């Protein structure tokens, strides 16, 4: 959502009409409403609300020109009479319907969601307007994962520090650390927690399924400064990372969709050349072993033998047995 | 010159009111007459301005009905709005249900979420308030597919360079991708399509074109675990030794019931689904040299062959066997 502050761009006619069509029925139901409340509810400035309502009051059709919508503002309070039109909001569009259903289904998958609760009942009522569909959301769940997520969510709410035992994929090692969980999010089938890492003093992102043990400490931190940036899907984008360029046969192309990629080209034989930011050497080793003979490192030359070296290391286990 | 944006909103509102109030379809001539002076006089300009307004109203979701007129306006198109189709029915949401939907929308922040909430009478979203959020991919075809599944309307779209006709039974979000599941007309069978791979627009037909068979389970269209997809024996398991550094996490992932032996110093032996050879191999290799396939011998041999091929490229083509995850 655009923040109210800093929005300077001119609102289009469609956008103003769309807002007016939800504002009028709402105002009618509210009765007299302070202008500031209307502005807050619709994420607009009082000036924008005033301009839109004044315009609405001028709309009309013969023989009732200028009196179709009975609205006026006096002493910063909005008054609306019962109009003949615009008493109900416009029906939900397909994108709006999808947004509500998808959001509802995701929320029902979060730890602790109650199908018989308010959200479940609300979604059932929505089905009356939107039709029964089958939108199924399958977020990663499991007894261990659910428990960790529930504990992390509680820690975010209480702003409590927790001790965790965590497997760091980039170094392939398990470490103990203390974190203050700030936000939990799911992305591409995995759960993450963004937290203040007490050891480094920095904000770090941890994958929840890699937390092997978690203990609450009973120590509490301060709330975050308001306006802190929400972790977005680009949270792992980092221009400072080294890169690797791979030539991928068709069976290996899936990595382009699975991992952040800086550049992709495909030739007419279905061979793809893609450049990836390299999170760490173990990460690249895992990826190259999975792709096996279907991937070749094009650049840098120093990484050309990485797959063979890693494969030989794993193979040694089998040959030694 | 007067501010054109202000005039346009006013004209749009008046046009909307006129089409809602009329008891019979109105031609453009009649509309321009009723909105006296608001449309250009010259016919071509008037038509262009009206088409633009009509597109704007449809864009915000107003259903404009059209009809070719007979009698004295014969041949001209008449326009009107059916108020029952225009208005959102009262859903009779309780305040706590409205609040729950608002919290849900804050969880994934979909593009059209705020406008939807306003129509339900809920407040503006509070940025950054939700402790738990989910990034749900925003793919253009999703709203049409959901609506078509609800209306039982057949959809057409291009996918892998072919035109497809699908009776959509439902949508599934799994591992970060949206899938459309339904009956494909040309294959006359159940098919799964990745929605983000659909090329161009999804076009839906009229309502009620098909019936959804009883007992369709969208979530069961394909297994959540890629290691279970394909293969002759869905029950097949392999025995894998996992070293201590990764044992705790693997046990959490698979569940303790999959642990069949515990060795000294924390290593475990686990039984892992391996119906899908490629997915199983990918899982084991993700553990690098912290894991070793013990049995069955074919799976162990497959991993060894794969590692040898990785060391000594290129591998002979004949050795390739692979299964696709979803069409």
Answer yes or no: is pLDDT of B318 > 60: no
Tokens of B43: 């016919």
Smallest CA–CA separation between B303 and chain A, in Å? Answer: 9
Query: pLDDT, tens digit, for every residue of A142-160?
Result: 777 888 999 999 999 899 9
pTM for the full predicted model: 0.77
pLDDT tens readout for residues B167-206 = 999 999 988 889 999 999 988 888 899 999 899 999 999 9
Which residues 98-157 in chain A show a CB within 8 A of chain B?
Answer: 98-107, 110, 117-119, 121-123, 125-126, 128-139, 142-145, 153, 156-157
What confidence tens digit (pLDDT) does each residue in A266-280 have?
888 889 999 988 877
Rounded to 5 degrees, φ, ψ at B185 are -65, -40
* pLDDT interval class at B107 (50, 70, 90): confident
Residues on chain A touching B142 (C-beta within 8 angstroms):
98, 102
- Which of A 200-239 lie inside 8 A of B, CB atoms? 209-210, 212-213, 227-228, 230, 232-233
Query: With contacts defined as CB-CB under 8 Å, which chain A residues touch B89?
Result: 128-129
Query: How many angstroms separate the CA atoms of A69 and A56, rounded?
Result: 6
Helix A94-108 to helix B95-108 angle (10° resolution) is 90
- Read off the tokens for B322: 């692979």
Query: What domains, with CATH codes, occur in chain B?
Result: 4-86 (1.10.10.10), 142-221 (2.30.30), 227-319 (no CATH)
Please give the pLDDT value at position B293.
Answer: 95
Averaged pLDDT for residues A220-224 = 85
Strand partners for A165 = A176, A213
Given a cut of 60, whether residue A228 has pLDDT beyond it is no
Which of A18, A92, A188 lies at the smallest CB-CB distance from B176? Answer: A188
Token pair, residue A262, equals 């800086």
pLDDT-above-90 percentage for chain B:
48
Which of the following CATH numbers is that of domain A243-320: 1.10.287, 1.10.238, 1.10.3470, 3.30.70? 3.30.70
Which residues from B are below 8 Å from A101, CB to CB?
Answer: 146
CA distance A164 to A210: 10
Is residue B208's pLDDT more than 90? yes
Q: Which of A284, A316, A315 is nearest to A300 (CA)?
A: A284
Band of pLDDT at residue B4, cut at 50, 70 and 90:
very low
Q: Per-residue pLDDT tens for A115-136?
A: 889 999 999 999 888 888 789 9
Contact residues, A window 243-272, toward B, CB-based 8 Å cutoff: 251, 254
pLDDT of residue A266: 85
Query: Which of the four CATH numbers 3.90.1170.50, 3.40.50.720, 2.30.30.100, 1.25.40.10 does domain A143-220 have?
Result: 2.30.30.100
Q: Which site among B13, B53, B138, B315 would you substitute to test the A interface, given the most A Cβ atoms closer than 10 Å to its Cβ?
A: B13
Burial class (CB in 10 A: 0-12, 13-18, 19+), A97: buried
Q: pLDDT value at position A226? A: 58
Ranges of each domain in chain A: 13-80, 94-130, 143-220, 243-320
How many residues does the structure list for chain A?
A: 321
- Which run of H or E residues covers position B145? helix B142-151
Half-sphere exposure at residue A191, Cβ-oriented, CA atoms within 13 angstroms: 27
Q: How confident is the model at residue B225 (pLDDT cuts 50, 70, 90)?
A: confident
The Cβ of residue A69 has, within 10 Å, a number of other Cβ atoms equal to 22
CATH architecture observed for domain A13-80 = Orthogonal Bundle (1.10)
Tell me the mean pLDDT in the region B139-154. 94
Distance, CA of A173 to CA of B308 (rounded, Å): 26
- Residues from chain B that touch A147, judged by Cβ atoms under 8 A, are none
pLDDT band with cut points at 50, 70 and 90 for residue B64: very high
Write out pLDDT tens, residues B234-278. 778 999 999 998 898 888 888 888 999 999 889 999 999 888 888
Task: Answer with the residue of higher pLDDT: A174 or B130.
Answer: A174
All residues of chain B having their beta carbon less than 8 Å from the beta carbon of residue A150 are none
Closest-CA residue of A relative to B130 is A183
Instruction: For residue B173, list chain A residues with Cβ-Cβ distance below 8 A.
Output: 102, 105-106, 135-139
Spatial distance between the Cα atoms of B61 and B79, rounded to a whole number of angstroms: 16
Q: Do B315 and A26 touch (CB under 8 A)?
A: no
Q: Rounded to whole angstroms, how far apart are CA atoms A20 and B57?
A: 13
Looking at residue A3, its pLDDT comes to 41
Assess whether pLDDT exceeds 70 at residue B127: no
Rg (CA), chain A: 27
Taking an 8 Å cut-off on Cβ atoms, the answer to whether A98 and B101 are in contact is no
Can you give the pLDDT at residue A173? 83
Per-residue confidence band for B290, with pLDDT thresholds at 50, 70 and 90: very high
ipTM reported for the complex, 2 dp: 0.78
Whether the ω angle into residue A95 lies within 30 degrees of 0, i.e. cis, is no
* Per-residue pLDDT at B228 exceeds 60: yes
Tokens 């709410």 label which residue?
A157
Q: Which tokens go with B15?
A: 């046009």
């Amino acid at each position: 959502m655009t923040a109210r502050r800093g929005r300077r761009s001119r609102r289009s006619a469609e956008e103003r009409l769309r807002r007016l069509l939800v504002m009028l029925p709402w105002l009618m139901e509210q009765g007299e409403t302070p202008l500031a409340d209307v502005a807050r509810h619709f994420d607009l400035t009082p000036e924008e609300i005033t301009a839109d309502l004044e315009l609405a009051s001028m709309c009309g059709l013969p023989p009732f020109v200028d009196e179709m919508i009975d609205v006026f503002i006096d002493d910063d309070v909005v008054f609306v009479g019962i109009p003949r039109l615009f008493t109900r909001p416009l029906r939900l569009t397909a994108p709006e319907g999808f947004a509500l259903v998808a959001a509802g289904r995701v929320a029902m998958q979060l730890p602790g969601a109650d199908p018989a609760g308010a959200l479940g009942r609300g979604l059932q009522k929505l089905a009356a307007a939107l039709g029964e569909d089958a939108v199924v959301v399958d977020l990663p769940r499991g007894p261990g994962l659910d428990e960790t997520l529930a504990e992390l969510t509680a820690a975010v709410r209480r702003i409590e520090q927790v001790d965790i035992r965590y497997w760091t994929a980039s170094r392939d090692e398990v470490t103990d650390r203390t974190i203050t969980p700030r936000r939990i999010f799911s992305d591409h089938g995995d759960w993450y927690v963004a937290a203040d890492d007490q050891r480094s003093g920095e904000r770090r992102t941890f994958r929840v399924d890699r937390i092997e043990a978690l203990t609450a400490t009973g120590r509490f931190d301060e709330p975050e400064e308001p306006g802190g940036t929400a972790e977005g899907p680009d949270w792992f984008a980092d221009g400072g990372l080294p890169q690797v360029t791979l030539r991928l046969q068709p069976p290996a192309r899936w990595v382009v969709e699975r991992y952040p990629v800086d550049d992709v080209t495909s030739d007419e034989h279905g061979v793809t050349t893609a450049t990836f930011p390299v999170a760490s050497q173990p990460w690249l080793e895992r990826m190259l072993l999975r792709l096996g003979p279907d991937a070749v490192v094009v650049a840098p030359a120093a990484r050309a033998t990485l797959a063979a070296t890693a494969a030989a290391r794993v193979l040694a286990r089998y040959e030694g047995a | 010159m007067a501010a054109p944006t202000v005039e346009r909103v006013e004209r749009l509102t008046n046009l909307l009111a006129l089409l809602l109030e009329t008891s019979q379809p109105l031609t453009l001539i009649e509309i321009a007459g009723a909105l006296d002076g608001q449309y250009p006089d010259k016919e071509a300009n008037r038509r262009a301005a009206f088409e633009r307004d009509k597109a704007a109203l449809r864009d915000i979701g107003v259903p404009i009905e059209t009809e070719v007129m007979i009698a004295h306006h014969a041949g001209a198109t008449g326009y009107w709005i059916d108020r029952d189709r225009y208005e959102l029915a009262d859903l009779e949401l309780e305040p706590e249900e409205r609040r729950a939907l608002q919290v849900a929308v804050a969880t994934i922040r979909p593009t059209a979420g705020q406008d939807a909430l306003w129509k339900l009478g809920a407040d503006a979203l509070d940025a950054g308030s939700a402790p738990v959020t989910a990034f749900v991919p925003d793919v253009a075809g999703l709203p049409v597919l959901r609506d078509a599944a609800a209306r039982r309307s057949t959809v057409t779209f291009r996918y892998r360079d072919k035109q497809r006709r699908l009776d959509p039974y439902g949508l599934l979000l799994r591992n970060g991708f949206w899938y459309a599941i339904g009956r494909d007309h040309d294959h006359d069978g159940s098919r799964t399509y990745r929605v983000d791979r659909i090329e161009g627009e999804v076009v839906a037909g009229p309502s009620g074109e098909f019936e959804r068979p009883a007992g369709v389970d969208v979530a069961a269209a394909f297994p959540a675990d890629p290691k279970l997809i394909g293969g002759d024996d869905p029950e097949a398991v392999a025995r894998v030794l996992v070293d201590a550094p990764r044992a705790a996490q693997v046990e959490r992932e698979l569940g303790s019931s999959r642990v069949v032996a515990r060795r000294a110093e924390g290593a475990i032996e686990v039984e892992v689904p391996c119906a899908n050879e490629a997915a199983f191999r990918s899982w084991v290799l993700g553990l690098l040299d912290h894991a070793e396939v013990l049995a069955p011998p074919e799976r162990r041999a497959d991993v060894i062959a794969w590692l040898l091929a990785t060391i000594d490229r290129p591998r002979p083509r004949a050795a390739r066997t692979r299964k696709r995850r979803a069409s």
